[in-house]
Structure 1
Amino acid sequence: MRADYVHPAEKIDEGSGWELIRKIVFGDGEDAIISELEEVGMEIVRKCDGLPLAIKVMAGVLFHKERTKTEWKKVVESDLWFRKEIKLSNALYLSYEDLPNHLKQCFLSCAFYHGISHRSDIIRLWVAEGFVIEELDSLMEVTAKDYYKELIARNLLQIDQRFEDGRLFVMHDVLRSFGEKLMEEEGIIISGENHCMNFQMASQGHRDSMSMMEGGCDLDDLQYLCNLNDLVISKLERARTTNFVLESKTFLRILTLGWTMHNNENNDEQSGEAERICKQLSPPATLEVLSINNFPGRQFPDWMVSTSLADLTFLALDKFPSCTALPPLGQLPNLKILHIEGGEAIKSIGPEFLGRRTPAFPKLEYLAFDSMRNWEEWVLRVAPIEDVHASNLNFFPNLEKCYFYDCPKLKNSIHPPTRLLQINGCPNLESMEKVGMLQLRKFEVVLPSEIKQLPKWISSLINMTLQSLQLFNMQCNSLVLDSCRKGKQNWHIIQHIPKVIIHSIGLETRLLRSPLVVSLVGRDPLAASLASHGRLAHRPLVASLASHCQLAYGI
């Protein structure tokens, strides 16, 4: 086997190599066993010739071995170290040979994926190719996820650090080339295509657990897949269906429905067809995660707020340009994360958003409004004499975080009872109405540079929450910052807040206040931002929300 797939790599010293193994293999409080295995561990480091990738994959091997000198000596004395190859490829051979047979096939299949790839794609491939050993009372997709986790633990795959749940992965170029060479030598053939829905496969006895479908197919064919766990249906504008629904798919936990829209232009016929298709895709009560993207209809289906969706914990509505009102999502009993983005036709959100049952949004912890370009108000009354919930605590009893991002026309809003409130891209905001007992702990806001004075709604909100507010973090122009200095016109508004951080736009300054010190510090803006304990978060993304959901609920 030629070594032409190996490119030069910087080497590390033996001490650093052993430290890398220690971090991967051992946890805290294992000093005794670390000391006992250090000598043989250093032998393994030397055999890796200081190559970090070789050391990492060997650490993956050692992680799955018994922590005894006898087992580690077997690794040192393996014949695979004596192949006529460079140290790196010998380490890769040893790591590969240490894999169980089913994981060898899975590892080799990853060589087809270049760059950053999706976990769902590779899992789907493993199931379709028959690499996954079927286990009693366990879906094959769940077993395949365990395979994926083991390849990660062995450092044969790397997760994209932007998503802590490991949904995206990448294979090191050297490992991918190594896998390709192995397949050439051993004559292994694996399909490199990203499998979509394979109905014939389902009819031949596979337990289908994670599938993707693109429109243009007859949705009635979904009837052949009985054990769906994760279903993505895209390009629904091309779909054909009669009366098929998903209610019978009792294993279904995650559902993504998507359309393709061009310039957000939809006629009556397209909107009506989208509403009809969406209505017929009514999911089962087992559903936990729902995402709807580029929906061209004028109203969402009734099943979205059906009491039967008792297990739904995550909902993302991303780009729905024709809907003029939000459904009564407050009656979903276990919803914990709600992301609403791109509702171009939404001008007002009223009491209908809460629904009629109380408490509304009983379990919601995270709420985000993003890119609501025409949204003007959020109110809890439809007329001066009709106050729906404004005087009681029958909504958002568990809300932890609330975000308003890129809502340029928003003028009036309620202040939902939340511990963290973040507002960015809302230059016309004039008032936030107090509702219920506010327990705001962190208030973070970005003011456009054209705003020269501290808005009254900010001072009013701070005054309303002064008993609970612990952190006020603001980004503004230098005039507003100067007005908040000690002795200046707005000092009395912020002086009793335990921690205040104010960044000025375009200047290398910030105002930091604690109970002991008030100081104006000149420094690099990025460094100041990173050093800030209460720094403003970046724009909330659906991806990060989904990541949080998967971490929290084991999806």
Structure 2
Amino acid sequence: MSSGVSWVSHKPSDRKEPYSAEEFRNIEEIFEQLIPPHTLEHLGITDLFASSYPTWLGTTHLSSLKYLIIRHCQSCEHLPAIGNLQNLKRLEIHGATAVTKIGPEFVGCGAIAFPRLEVLVIRGLTNWEDWTFAVFEENAETGRRKEVGEDVVTVKQEGEAPTPRMQFLPRLKHLVLDCCPRLRALPPQLGQGTSSLKTLELRHMHCLKVVENFMFLSESLLIAQCESLERVSNIPNVRFLNAPLCLKLRCVETLDNLQKLIYTDDMLEMSSLWLPGLIEQRRKLQGEDLDVYTWPGCSCYTS
């Protein structure tokens, strides 16, 4: 089996004039022909100067692929449809600045999206605003009824089998989102389907207001320098919360197993709204004191 790392990269010259549509097509045609062996386990794509990714990346051809890193592909507006890569364990996406939306096309159409993915890192998508996994079944059903002129409150016929729900990231253990300042919200399926999630790191997510309903997150939650964050709630199994430099955080609740908290001293006023409740919750549910640590807010936060 081929386990060597393969790097596919194309970096344009420093010329000032824009590239034509024909030049883009020529580049895309070249990369379309660079089909890696199906036994490849490691793949990196860097500085891909094209408007779209090769179609072979969104198929089951790379059935052995375990590690995929996409770096600085700044002309591609959409991510490849790689949710059906059955053996992918680690996925990193860096600097895809043309991406504004990540939608259902990213996860594919299989019954389980990213069935073996354990680590997902998304960093430096500076124009990314919206993230969805799938159209809600209720919305799809409502739309279908409206098309045929039925009453929206109509129920399914007796005995009709329900539409099976798609599963998302069932083996994901570690999720990192960093420097995506325009992303407004996390998709609800992210917290509901990630039953193996251990750590969640959110850094410099300046439009994110709420982090909630991560029912299975079991170890640590880091939320650093998220300027608009107001609420963290319903994360019942997390044990460690590290929330430095989140100056608008006014609500932290339903963290039933929380053992340790770190925040910065510039959050003292806001933390008075929720810290007493966390301390009381720990004493009531566990009979122990909550470990609370305060860091200087003016210090450079690196960990």
Is TM-score (shorter-chain normalized) higher than 0.5?
A: yes
- Alignment of 1:439 with 2:216, yes or no, is yes
Partner of 1:319: 72
- Alignment of 1:376 with 2:139, yes or no, is no
Partner of 1:386: 140
SS in 2 for 1:329: coil
Instruction: Identify if the C-alpha distance between structure 1 residues 334 and 370 changes in structure 2 by more than 3 Å, giving closer, same or farther.
Output: same
Q: Does the CA contact (< 8 Å) of 2:224 and 2:246 recur in 1?
A: no
Superposition map of 1:298-377 within 5 A: 298-377=51-130
Question: How far is 1:498 from its partner?
Answer: 2.0
SS in 1 for 2:76: coil
> Considering only CA atoms, is the larger Rg found in Structure 1 or Structure 2?
1
Equivalents in 2 of 1:493, 1:257: separation in Å? 46
Equivalents in 2 of 1:325, 1:491: separation in Å? 35
Instruction: Identify if the C-alpha distance between structure 1 residues 520 and 319 changes in structure 2 by more than 3 Å, giving closer, same or farther.
Output: closer
Superposition map of 1:374-523 within 5 A: 374-382=127-135, 385-386=139-140, 392=165, 394-414=167-187, 416=190, 417=194, 418-431=197-210, 438-441=215-218, 442-448=220-226, 451=228, 455-456=230-231, 458=232, 462-463=233-234, 465-466=235-236, 468-476=237-245, 480=249, 490=251, 497-504=258-265, 515-519=288-292
Question: How far is 1:357 from its partner?
Answer: 1.4
Gaps of 5+ in 1: 1-249, 484-489, 530-535, 538-555
Instruction: Identify if the C-alpha distance between structure 1 residues 517 and 443 changes in structure 2 by more than 3 Å, giving closer, same or farther.
Output: closer
Instruction: Identify if the C-alpha distance between structure 1 residues 266 and 443 changes in structure 2 by more than 3 Å, giving closer, same or farther.
Output: farther
Gaps of 5+ in 2: 142-163, 283-287
Equivalents in 1 of 2:294, 2:206: separation in Å? 27
C-alpha RMSD of matched pairs (Å)? 3.5
Equivalents in 1 of 2:264, 2:243: separation in Å? 6
SS in 2 for 1:443: strand
Equivalents in 1 of 2:2, 2:184: separation in Å? 44
Equivalents in 2 of 1:332, 1:438: separation in Å? 26
Question: How far is 1:256 from its partner?
Answer: 0.2
SS in 2 for 1:476: coil
Instruction: Identify if the C-alpha distance between structure 1 residues 367 and 518 changes in structure 2 by more than 3 Å, giving closer, same or farther.
Output: closer
Partner of 2:155: none
Instruction: Identify if the C-alpha distance between structure 1 residues 479 and 395 changes in structure 2 by more than 3 Å, giving closer, same or farther.
Output: closer
Question: How far is 1:375 from its partner?
Answer: 0.7
Amino acid at match of 2:128: W
Question: How far is 1:494 from its partner?
Answer: 5.4
Give the one of 17, 20, 29 matched to 1:276: 29
Instruction: Identify if the C-alpha distance between structure 1 residues 523 and 347 changes in structure 2 by more than 3 Å, giving closer, same or farther.
Output: closer
Equivalents in 2 of 1:359, 1:521: separation in Å? 41
Amino acid at match of 1:386: A
SS in 2 for 1:331: coil
Equivalents in 2 of 1:351, 1:396: separation in Å? 13
Equivalents in 2 of 1:363, 1:502: separation in Å? 34
Partner of 1:290: 43
Amino acid at match of 1:309: L
Which whole-Å deviations, capped at 9, do the CAs of 1:33-83 have from their partners, x for residues lacking one? xxxxxxxxxxxxxxxxxxxxxxxxxxxxxxxxxxxxxxxxxxxxxxxxxxx
Question: How far is 1:394 from its partner?
Answer: 1.6
Question: How far is 1:401 from its partner?
Answer: 0.6
Equivalents in 2 of 1:523, 1:377: separation in Å? 33
Which whole-Å deviations, capped at 9, do the CAs of 1:149-194 have from their partners, x for residues lacking one? xxxxxxxxxxxxxxxxxxxxxxxxxxxxxxxxxxxxxxxxxxxxxx
Question: How far is 1:470 from its partner?
Answer: 1.3
- Give TM-score scaled by structure 2 length: 0.72
Question: How far is 1:270 from its partner?
Answer: 3.1
Question: How far is 1:493 from its partner?
Answer: 5.3
Question: How far is 1:348 from its partner?
Answer: 1.1
Question: How far is 1:526 from its partner?
Answer: 7.0
- Give TM-score scaled by structure 1 length: 0.41
Instruction: Identify if the C-alpha distance between structure 1 residues 348 and 506 changes in structure 2 by more than 3 Å, giving closer, same or farther.
Output: same
Amino acid at match of 2:139: I
Which whole-Å deviations, capped at 9, do the CAs of 1:393-412 have from their partners, x for residues lacking one? 62211100111111111112
The answer to which structure, 1 or 2, has the higher relative contact order (CA under 8 A, 6+ apart) is 2
Q: Does the CA contact (< 8 Å) of 2:65 and 2:87 recur in 1?
A: yes
Q: Does the CA contact (< 8 Å) of 2:263 and 2:293 recur in 1?
A: no
Amino acid at match of 2:170: P
Instruction: Identify if the C-alpha distance between structure 1 residues 325 and 523 changes in structure 2 by more than 3 Å, giving closer, same or farther.
Output: closer
Instruction: Identify if the C-alpha distance between structure 1 residues 378 and 479 changes in structure 2 by more than 3 Å, giving closer, same or farther.
Output: closer
Amino acid at match of 1:412: A
Which whole-Å deviations, capped at 9, do the CAs of 1:224-271 have from their partners, x for residues lacking one? xxxxxxxxxxxxxxxxxxxxxxxxxx7573210111234996432332
Equivalents in 2 of 1:373, 1:523: separation in Å? 28
Partner of 1:255: 6
Q: Does the CA contact (< 8 Å) of 1:259 and 1:293 recur in 2?
A: yes
Instruction: Identify if the C-alpha distance between structure 1 residues 410 and 283 changes in structure 2 by more than 3 Å, giving closer, same or farther.
Output: same
Equivalents in 1 of 2:15, 2:30: separation in Å? 21
Number of matched pairs: 258
Question: How far is 1:519 from its partner?
Answer: 5.0
Q: Does the CA contact (< 8 Å) of 1:334 and 1:363 recur in 2?
A: yes
Amino acid at match of 1:476: L
Q: Does the CA contact (< 8 Å) of 1:478 and 1:504 recur in 2?
A: no
Question: How far is 1:386 from its partner?
Answer: 2.8
Equivalents in 2 of 1:382, 1:268: separation in Å? 32
